[in-house]
Amino acid sequence: MRSLGPRMEVAVAMTILGVGAAVVAAMHLTWPEPELPAMAYAVSNGEAGVADLQPFGIDDVSGGPVELAPGSEGSRLVRLSNPNSVDIVVLTLQAVPGQPLDAAHNRVPGCPAGVLTVVPMAEPVTIPPSGAVEVEMVVQIAHDVPDACQDSVFPLTYSGRAARAV
């Protein structure tokens, strides 16, 4: 087999060893007291070709909904865990808001998901074997939020990519 050279081998290994994970949590947009707790469901899948690494875990550990007023900013505390016996580097972590839901878990037609944004993780983080690291994700709500969004819950889908630490 022909060698690709050390730099190309590292690039190929980083691509192949990337690990993805996703988790859904609820972001609550409310002016009165929140009535629904935040939900967290772990859904992890390794990318194709990652035979020797398990997917890293993403768990929203904020403890409850974040109340946001129009034009405000909040945060979600997210725990990233490494089930592997080697160091991994989480290269990216982002969250995408889903269609807002009302208290009865019905879609809120007059409230677009785009009024909420989540700032992606700024810097890669290294997680030791069988360890965990907590990172903060900044959430922002638009200044011009429609009235239909009041008391809505925004489901967040987290995803990210990791590689074996070099």
pLDDT digits (tens, 9 = 90+) for 138-155: 999 999 999 888 888 888
Q: Is residue 1 part of a domain?
A: no
76: CATH: 2.60.40
Number of domains the chain contains: 1
How would residue 6 be classed by pLDDT, with cut points 50, 70 and 90? Answer: low
Average pLDDT, the chain: 75
Ordered DSSP codes for 73-110: EEEEEEEEE--SSS-EEEEEEEEEE---B-TTS-B-TT
Q: Structure pTM?
A: 0.69
Range of the domain at 112: 6-164
